[in-house]
A and B are shown apart, each in its own frame.
Chain A
Amino acid sequence: MTNDVNEQLEVIPQDYKYGFHDDRVNSYKAEKGLSEKVVNVISEIKGEPDWMRQFRLKALQTFYSKPDVTWGADLSTLNFQDIYYYIKPSDRSERTWEEVPNDIKNTFERLGIPEAERKYLAGVGAQYDSEVVYHKLKEDLENKGVIFLGTDQALKEHPDLFKEYFGKLIPPADNKYAALNSAVWSGGSFIYVPPGVHVDIPLQAYFRINSERMGQFERTLIIADEGSFVHYVEGCTAPTYSSESLHSAVVEIFVKRGGRVRYSTIQNWANNVYNLVTKRALCEEDATMEWVDGNLGSSVTMKYPAVILKGRGSHGEVLSIAFAGKGQHQDTGAKIIHVAPDTTSRIISKSISKDGGRASYRGLLKVLEGAFRAKSNVVCDALILDDKSRSDTYPYIEVNEKQVSIGHEATVSKINDEQLFYLMSRGIAEGEASSMIVNGFIEPLVKELPMEYAIELNRLIQLQMEGSVG
C-alpha cells in the first residue's frame, strides 16, 4: 500500500504535497448521485432516530426546490449526479491512534496529525471521506465536562443537547448548499464547553477527502457556554484527481453570555474541489466570536463566515485571507449582523491573485434598527501579482439605525515598486523581495494562527509564490 502512495506522489504537481491518495477498500460506498434512497441509506447505516431521517428527507426536498445559485462563482460544471454522497471508510471512530486502520493512519501520518496532537493540541478529530475515524480529547478536559465528539456520535450520546441546537442557526432552507448538507450530512465535530471552562490549547479537526468524485458534507456544532473559551482549528486536504469533488459543510456556533470562540480554518483542498460552505455564529450578551479563515486550495470556494450579534455588547471578528492561483476562484468574505446595541465588529480581508486566479471579497454588514452605538470597520486589501489575474470587492452595507459608526475601505494594487526597490537595493533578489512583501501583507492574519498553522501557511504562500515576480 505504501508503494502505491509513493507512486501516486510521483505524478502529482510538486506544489501540492497532499495530492496523494490511498487505495483502500471502503466498508461501505453509497451509489453515485443524489436521491431519496441515498438519503435513507445514509440515515439507516448511521442508525439514526426517526426525526433525523425526516429532517434529512425534508431538506432534500428543499434542495430540489431551490433554484441554482447564479451569483458569485461559476458553478455550471458542477454535476450533482456525478458525486458519491456517502463513503464509509471504517466501521467505527477510534480513540487510540493504533486502532485506526493502517492505510488511513498512513494518510494522516503523512499529514502530520498525531504529531500535531502530541505537540500542541488538546484534542484531535480526523475525518476521512464521510466518517470521523479518530477522535481524542485530553483527559483533564474530559473531566471538566468538555465534549468533543464526531457529530454522529454526539447525536447518539447527547441526543437532547444535540436536538436543542442542531439546525437552529442554519436551517436547511437557508440556502441551496445548506439544504444539501442537511440532507446528506455525515461527520464533523461536536463541541460543548461547560460554563467558565477555558480550553487553553486548540482543539483540532482534520478533514480529508480521499475518494474520487467524493462529496464531503461534514456538520459541525459548537456550543460555548457562559464565560467559556475554546479555539477550534480545522485543516482540509484532498488528493489531486482529474474529476471534481464537492465539499459542502455547515458549521453552527452558539456563544453564550461572555463566552468566546475562535474558529480557524486552513483550507487547502486540491484545486479541483468545489468548496461551498455555510458558517454562522450566534453571539449572546458580551460574547465574542472570531473567524480566522484562510483559503488557499480548491477550484471554487464560496464561503462567507457569519456572526449574528444578538446580545448587547457582543463582538464579532472575521480575518480572511485568500490566495487565488491558476484556475482558482476564491469567492470569500464575511457577514456580520448587528442586532443588539453596543455591538462591535471588525472584518479584515487580504487577498492575493496570481497566474490568472480570481479573488473576490463579498461581504455583508447589516445594522438593524435598535442596534444603537453599533461600530464596525471593514478593511479589504488585495494584491494582484500579474496582468492575467483578477480581484473583485463586493461589500454590501445596510444601515437601518442612525446611532452608528460604520467604515469600509478597500484597496487593490500590485506590489509596491518603492518597497521592492528598497529591498532590492539591500541586495535581496526580486523574487525573494516580492515574497517578503507578500508575507508582510498577510502578516496581520498569520500572527493570529497557532504556531504550527502559521508556519504551514507561510510555507504554502512561499510555494505559491515561487518563480513569481511582482
Chain B
Amino acid sequence: MKPSLLLSALCLTLGCAPATPPPTRETLVLTGTAYDRGLQHGTQLRSKIRSFYTTLMANSLFPFLSREQPDIATLLKEYEAERYQNGGFARELLLESAKNLERDIGRNGRDEMRGIADGSGLTYDEVLILNTFVDTTLAVRGIGLAIRQGRAPVVESVEFLGVGADGRDNSGEGAVDEADEGVIKPYVPPFFAAAVEVAVDTKLRVVFADPDGVDPQTVRVRVNEGLFTFGDPALEVVELDATRVQATWTPPSPLPAASVVTFVLSAGDKRIIEVPGPPRASFRRDEELVVTTQGAGLAPRDLSRPALTDNRTRPPPFVVGARGARAADGPLLAHSFALLDANTAHKHTVLLVHRPDTGPAYATVGWAGIVYGISGLNERGVGVACNPSDTLDNSVVGSVLDQVADLPRAKLLASGLPVGFLVKRVLERASTAAEGVGALTDIAPVYGWNCTVADDQGGLEVVELDSDVFKQGQRGVYRYTPTDRDPSMRRYSSVTDDDVIVGSSYTRNVEDSITLTLAGQRVVPQRFWSGFFFRSRRVIDDVTRRVAARTEPIDVAWLESVLVTPEVVDRSDSMNAVVLDLRRRTVHAAMGTVPATDSPFVATELGR
C-alpha cells in the first residue's frame, strides 16, 4: 500500500492525471433581475463568451461578410467610405443595425446584455452585436444571395415534350391536353409537382438565359440518381443565341413507371467574377422539378418529394408539433435547428434556465453570451421554436426602400425585433399558445421566420412572419393551425388535426414579397431565389412521411429518433435538436457537438 500511496501523492503533486475536456454544453440557472441574470451568465461563461465572440464573429463572420462590401458598395456608395474598408464593413454594418434594433429590444433585454458585458468583459456593443447578428446577417446575406441569383442564368422555360398531346391530365387541373400543358413559361419554381402522369420516355427541354451568356459546359441535369452534363449523349445543349442556351434531355432508358422522378437543373454564366475570390461564374441555384410518371395516380399537391442523395444540399431546420390523440402523453414540440456552426458554435452551447423576479420561469436552448435561444418553454407550459424563412420582405430591404430617393447615401439597416427576443417575449408573457402568437406578432421581426407555438392544453399554431415592408395587408403575419385548410381544402402542413410539420420555407405566406425591380435588382418571392426553398420542401415531405407512418402515439423517444435520422440532419451546421415536453415542462436537448445529434438528449425539468 505504501508505494501506491506515495505514487498517488506524487501524482497529485506533479499532475500525472490527464487533462479533461471542458464541457461543450452548459446549463445555467439564472435568477433575479434581468441585469442580475445577465451578470451571472457573463461571469460564469466569461471564457466561452469571449471565445465565441472571437471565433464566430471576429475570425469568421466579420471577414466573411466583409467580402460583400465591394458588391454592395457598387449599389450603395456610402459603403465606399474609409471606415467600411479593410475588413471593417461587416462589423460596422452589424453594429449600426444593432444600435437600430436596440430600441425595440426593451429595457429588460438591454439590462440583461449589459449584465453579460459586465460579467464577461466584452463591451456592451460587442454583446449587442452578438445578440442581433443572426437576423441582420440573414437579411444581408439574403440580399446578397438574391443579387447573385439575379446575375446568374435564369430558367426561361421548362417543357416536358409530348405531354401536351398525351391524352392525360398532367397538371391536375381536371383538363386533358390543354394549351401549354407540360410547359412552364415563364418559369415559376413549382411549389408542388411540375407535372404528373408523364410518359416514361418524356423528354425534358430547358432554356437558360443570361445577359452575359450561358456557358454550355456548365449545364447540368440530374434525373434521380443519374447525372447528365455537357457532352453526355443524352443531353443536347444548343446555344440559341448570345444569351440563351437550350438543353434537351432524352431518357437513355425509360423512367421508372408509376414513380416520383426528381429533375435538378443548373447552369452558370460566361462572366467570371474574380473578386472576391475564388474566381467563379454565377450559378443558378439547383432548380428542382418533381414529376410523376404514368400510373402513379397522384395529384400535384399529393406528391411527396423524395430524398436527394447527391450530397449537394443539406437539410434545413424543421419543427414537428403534436398534440391530442397524436401525443397521448401530452403536447410536444420537436425542433431540429441548423444554421451556422462554423466549427465553433457547438463548443459554446448553453441551456439557460431563467427564474426572474417577476414573470414565469423559462428555459431557452442557445449559446454563450446570447440572452435567448431559438426554442424554449416556460413554466406555464408554453413552448416555441422558430425556423428562418428567407424573404426579401425584410427590414433591411425596407431600409433601402425608405432611402431609395438617395441611394448613394443609403445604408443597409435592420429594424424590428430579432427572433430570439421574440422567443423571449413569448416565454416571458404567454400562458397559452394563443397568447404566445400574440407576443410574436405585435412587433415586426427583422427577418422572415416560421415560429411554432404550443401549450400544454393542446394549443398549436404556426406563425409565418415577415417584415411587411411592401404593406401586403397582413402585417407580415400568416397563421395556421393543423385544422386550417388552404383554398384547395387541404391542410397546410399537417397529416391530422393534431400534428404539424414546419420547415424553413413559407407554406402560407407563399407570396411573401411583391415582384419589382429596385435599383436594377429584381425583388421576388422566396421560391425564386432562396437556397432553403427546395430543401425545405423536401425535408417537410420527408418528416411528413415519417409522421404519417407513425401509428403509435408520438412520444419524446420517437421524436428524438426522428431528429437524429441522418436524412434530416445537417452534418455541418446542425446546432441543436430539442424536444419540448410541455406537460412535464421538460426540455430534452442534444447539443454540444456538430452535428448536435451526435450528442445524447439530456432532459432538464423546468418545474412549475
Is B truly associated with A?
no
A interface vs B, CB < 8 Å? none
